[in-house]
Structure 1
Amino acid sequence: MTSKPSSKLAALLPDLAPWRSSADFRLLWIQGLVTYFSSFMALIALPLQIKHLTGSPLAVGAMGAVELVPLVVFGLYGGALADAVDRRKVIIATEAGLGLLALMLLLNSLLPSPMLWPLYVVAAGVSALAGLQRPALDSLMARIVPHEQQTAAAALNSLRWQMGAIAGPALAGLVVAYAGHAPAYGVTIAGFAVSVLLCRRLTPAPPARDAEKPSLRGIAEGARYAWSRPVLLGTYVVDLAAMLFAFPNTIFPFLADELDAAWSLGLMYAAGSVGSLVLGLTSGWTSKVRRHGLLVVLGAAVWGLAIAAAGWFADIWLVLLCLGFAGAGDMLSGLGRSTIWNQTIPEELRGRLAGIEVLSYSVGPQLGQVRAGAMAGWTGTRSAIWTGGVACVASVGLLCLALPKLLTYDAETDEDARRRKAGRYENAGTGSGGTPDAGETPGTGGTPDTLGARGVSGPGDTPGAREAGAEAPA
């Protein structure tokens, strides 16, 4: 007979149900690990190269400014595209494009005098391709993973991401310090090449037979649906506010210098991922949670408090500990967001809502980079960090007062969640009766006929995916 301590320990371990039930989930899990690991090499090398070329925190923070417009435009268009074309083709094409952009970084780094402007051009291009890709990746999750396994799938995807996020930044800091930027970019290119080969093995994911072509009207339809759902709206704005005020990763190189701990830069980028990994390894209990809105709010508050403490302390080890707690908070909030999205959004709108999610998930960090860089130049690095954390906590509190339905969300009683679980939905904006989701049998939790029980995830549905620097793969 199993002892009580053993049973309690087993309850904390990650729920492996999605891994056991889907061969493609396992394939994409491995593919994602390769991509995340290799991407973080370039993700750390790029801002470091800008710092080496300019010595300016504002120049590093300007990355967020050049990435913002492409992310908004292509994120919204990518959401409409994901509802209208084969999502597998979108994923393969964008992975190949990201690999080519990494090649541009490599070639520029090999010049006798590397140029600055190509770094910003590549940053904008990465933002555009990530905006196109992420809705296609995100919108597959609810279609191919059973309703009751959504939180477990999000936790497993986060574990995969954190493994790459921990090893990638730590190794990137060492590689750049001792071998230069070119080797880091070379690893990124190799990673995307492997990713394209693996993605080609995926089963095609065609759109619904009556899917409309991407249009402004279709994008507006998705926006109206999101606006009409206070719970969904709450997940978007809480995350946006948290990242806007408390995303200081772009000024970590200057914080490391100020604390006289240049050796710790890679650890700073990796610390949040360590916190997320610890929470992921003990995430079994989250599969039993019903109040996912509370996870969103509590996680965002923990993130803000931990970032504020990281800016306040002058001891590098306490700073790293605080960044670890911030990562755990971000993952907790991310689990809540991902579960709410995948349990409530109807299949026909999933791509467009994923495009809106790209904005809430990514615009915040981009603006946060600009805010942190500008404020660090005016008031100092540490004050820019701790004041941002305080502002994050205050804004989350105010949003809870404005959107109380987020706190009261219950997966067992929410009408959208119950409708989604039954395999039915209402046509957005019409209030008309629904029809079964494409490929699903009402009441089964969903097994699409075109894909089987597959698990695909992208950065957008990976909780805790921001601690290491930015959301874009390259």
Structure 2
Amino acid sequence: MTSAPPPAPASPSSPPPRPGRLRALLPDLAPWRSSPDFRLLWVQGLITYFGSFMALIALPLQIKDLTGSPLAVGAMGAVELVPLVVFGLYGGALADSVDRRRVILLTEAGLGVLAAILLVNALLPEPLLWPLYVVAGGVSALAGLQRPALDSLMARIVPHAQQTAAAALNSLRWQIGAIAGPALAGLVVAYAGHGTAYAVTVCTFAVSVVLCLRLSPAPPAKEAAKPSLRGIVEGARYAWSRPVLLGTYAIDLAAMFFAFPNTIFPFLADELDAEWSLGLMYAAGSVGSLVLGLTSGWTSRVRRHGLFVVFGAAAWGLAIAAAGWFSSVWVVLVCLAVAGAGDMLSG
């Protein structure tokens, strides 16, 4: 009995099967499969983002309702700037010297407490204005402390070869929260009030703290130095000595400083006579980012990263500028979506 002949080899000129092409466009799930802590942080982050974006919409809207002043809403960004810079620098030194899991856990708990303060203030017969600015500054400080620990923990729990894939998955998670959170927040604030939005935020941070408790410990290296002003200065000198880091920071700061429109969205919706579109304005950029994120498989093969950072930042700025020229809310939303895709490309 003779065996069946082997299948004929594929012709060198024949195209690859379509499923392979599709897989090349889809996100790389290797970090999700290889790291339980990455899976846990991914889910925790999605829940946190959802609650954070609820508050992100409710806070400037509440300031607008209390004051009716674009300057008062814009002042929230000024209040956030100094704590973000100062505590961000300290957070970098802190992440190298203490358990990163503990930093993430404590800052998540602190953010939950600040959300509770917003909730209590919103339930007062006459809500106060100054606590909104205090909380905005506190959130910025805690975020500055947390971000370095979170980023460095990702570098520890995900293999080096999977870092780009992990970044794409994390961006995808952010976009899901950034779309669902603002879109729902606009409806919640409009029909249920600011207090309900803050209550949802408090609940999401409570769940986040429970999930963070399940993370594996991430102690510092034995030779790690304690946080100090000297360490912060050395970190700044290191960044200053690396043109790649410095150039990336400069591009991102320029794009955000000159073309970050979030604080004017409540007034833009009024100007376009489309108050219903406020949540969509906050979510539109994330829709564009999500579309790019869903086809991010090709980013693992990018070699000239700096060039693509420039392309992404330029697309962001041009799209934001274009949004200011149109009076149709739908065209504005499309421009914001294109800007989000540019931001995702840069990230």
Q: Residues 293-341 of structure 1: CA distance to partner in whole angstroms, max 9, x if unpaired?
A: 112110000001110111111111110001001000001101xxxxxxx
- Tell whether 2:283 aligns with 1:270: yes
Q: Which residue of 2 aligns with 1:27?
A: 40
Distance of 2:24 and 2:94 partners within structure 1: 40
- Tell whether 2:94 aligns with 1:81: yes
Q: Which residue of 1 aligns with 2:344?
A: 331
Aligned counterpart for 2:324 among listed residues 311, 319, 327: 311
Q: Residues 90-122 of structure 1: CA distance to partner in whole angstroms, max 9, x if unpaired?
A: 111110010000000000000111010110011
Distance of 2:108 and 2:53 partners within structure 1: 15
Distance of 2:309 and 2:219 partners within structure 1: 32
Aligned counterpart for 1:248 among listed residues 253, 257, 261: 261
- Tell whether 2:308 aligns with 1:295: yes
Higher Cα radius of gyration: 2
SS in 1 for 2:324: helix
Q: Which residue of 2 aligns with 1:422?
A: none
Q: Equivalent residues in 2 for 1:115-194 (5 A)?
A: 115-194=128-207
Identity over aligned pairs, percent: 83
Q: Which has the higher contact order (CA 8 A, sep 6+)?
A: 1
Measured after TM superposition, the shift of residue 199 of structure 1 is 0.3
Q: Residues 262-304 of structure 1: CA distance to partner in whole angstroms, max 9, x if unpaired?
A: 1100000000000000000000111111111112110000001
SS in 2 for 1:312: coil
Q: Equivalent residues in 2 for 1:28-107 (5 A)?
A: 28-107=41-120
Q: Which residue of 2 aligns with 1:343?
A: none
> Quick check: which one's helix share is greater?
2
Preserved CA contact (<8 Å) 2:285 2:338: yes
Preserved CA contact (<8 Å) 2:38 2:157: no
Gaps of at least 5 residues in structure 1 are 335-474
Distance of 1:332 and 1:13 partners within structure 2: 15
Q: Which residue of 1 aligns with 2:271?
A: 258
Preserved CA contact (<8 Å) 2:289 2:340: yes
Measured after TM superposition, the shift of residue 206 of structure 1 is 0.6
Distance of 1:178 and 1:267 partners within structure 2: 16
Q: Which residue of 2 aligns with 1:227?
A: 240
AA of the residue aligned to 2:345 = L
SS in 2 for 1:84: coil
Distance of 1:198 and 1:144 partners within structure 2: 16
Measured after TM superposition, the shift of residue 228 of structure 1 is 1.1
Q: Which residue of 1 aligns with 2:297?
A: 284
Name the count of aligned residue pairs. Answer: 334
- TM-score with structure 2 setting the length: 0.94
SS in 1 for 2:288: helix
AA of the residue aligned to 1:112 = P
List, as ranges, runs of 4+ consecutive aligned residues in structure 1 with deviation greater than 6 Å.
none
- TM-score with structure 1 setting the length: 0.69
Measured after TM superposition, the shift of residue 3 of structure 1 is 5.6
Q: Which residue of 2 aligns with 1:339?
A: none
Measured after TM superposition, the shift of residue 70 of structure 1 is 1.4
